[in-house]
Amino acid sequence: MIAYIIRRLLHTILVVFAISLIIFFSVRLTGDPVSVMFQAGEPTKEAIAEVRKNLGLDEPLYVQYGIFLKGLVTFDFGESFRSGMPVIDLIKEKLGATLALAFGGMAVAIMIAFPVGIVSAVKRGTGVDFFGRIFSLIGISFPNFWLGIMLILIFAVNLKWLPSSGFESFKHLILPSITLGMILSGILARLVRSSMLEVMNQQYISTAKSKGISDFAVIIKHAFRNALLPTVTFLGLQFGALLGGTVIVEQIFSWPGIGRLIIDAINQRDYPVIQGGVIFLAVIMVAVNLVIDLSYTLIDPRIKIGGSRS
């Protein structure tokens, strides 16, 4: 197990190195950051050269990349071209909000999708199943910007129950979490339903029933535990995606998250922030995957990680 984790951490270093290469050079294909910095008037050549020198952009590319790599090792992603603040501080500042939203969205998705998926599978072919599947379809096909705006309209503007933007308290978390969670729960409910259907056909479910235990125990203890594996894989991947891919929801709710930080940085060609942000998300993504893989051993005793199968 320990050896396995170490091996995975070494992989992570490779992944980060590859991503650093890709992000460093692809960002530089988008154009000169200095040209978007002077919005008023025509800058002099000297002024431009001055700025380039200050930002370190006058060095050859390989030198710039070397400096970037050296920074990575010491967790120093450089300073923002715009604000001059260290990128690591910018990320730290947004991390709380991003994590809160990711967990919130996840929690909503699980709370909705698990019961819907399970009931749908157990009552397969009935009206309940029909509604469950319609729900999934709606969840999958609704654009989240529309849902977000509708929620703001109803609960923030008309009813005035909940705040519509920012992140100051738990209340602020509710609407964005529902928006994210609803979309996610559509796919998740379908996945839970199909995994449950597959498991419910297994012989051990008949065995469980033949013991005379309650339907609830058969469904939750015997079927759901087995249906959990594909679900956890999906949730883990989604969690990674939620960390960086919630830009639309972050925009709607003016959520101070990392997704928005990176999008703003892209618009401003703020190289260090883009590089730092993307690398940071990549590391989190790899870490989440590792945690999922390790969690398999807890869910399914047949899976042994790192060692030989007994």
Partner 1 sequence: MVQKVLEVEELKVGIKDEDGGRIAIVNGINFHLHKGETLGIVGESGCGKSMTSLSLMGLLPAGVERHGGDIRLGNLNFNSFNKKDWRQIRGKKIAMIFQEPMSSLNPVYTVGAQINEMILNHERVSKKEARNRALEMLKLVGIPRPEQVLNEYPHQLSGGMRQRVMIAIALSCNPEVLIADEPTTALDVTIQAQILELMKKIQDQLHMSIVLITHDLGVVAEMCDRVIVMYAGEIVEESLVVDLFDQPSHPYTKGLLASLPDIHEQKEYLSSILGVVPAPGKMPAGCRFAPRCSFAHERCKEVPPLFEMENGSKVKCWLYEDGEAEVAAT
**Residues lying near partner 1 in the complex (CB under 8 A):** 124-125, 202-204, 206-215, 222, 225-226, 299-302, 310
CA distance 198 to 116: 16
CA distance 116 to 242: 22
- C-beta closer to partner 1: residue 169 or 214: 214
> CA dist 3 to 6, 15, 307, Å?
5, 18, 9
- C-beta closer to partner 1: residue 41 or 301: 301
Report, in Å, the least distance between residue 148 CB and partner 1. 39
Beta-carbon neighbour count of residue 29 at 10 Å? 6
Report, in Å, the least distance between residue 224 CB and partner 1. 10
3-state secondary structure of 48: helix
Report, in Å, the least distance between residue 34 CB and partner 1. 59
- C-beta closer to partner 1: residue 54 or 126: 126
Angle between helices 258-267 and 225-244 (to 10 degrees): 40
Q: How is residue 179 written in tokens?
A: 């928006």
> Considering only CA atoms, which of 233, 292, 288, 286 is closest in space to residue 11?
286
- C-beta closer to partner 1: residue 141 or 210: 210
- C-beta closer to partner 1: residue 67 or 128: 128
Report, in Å, the least distance between residue 5 CB and partner 1. 23
Report, in Å, the least distance between residue 116 CB and partner 1. 20
- C-beta closer to partner 1: residue 45 or 211: 211
Question: Contact, 183 vs 144, CB < 8 A?
Answer: yes
Q: Is 120 exposed, middle or buried (0-12, 13-18, 19+ CB in 10 A)?
A: buried
Report, in Å, the least distance between residue 106 CB and partner 1. 23
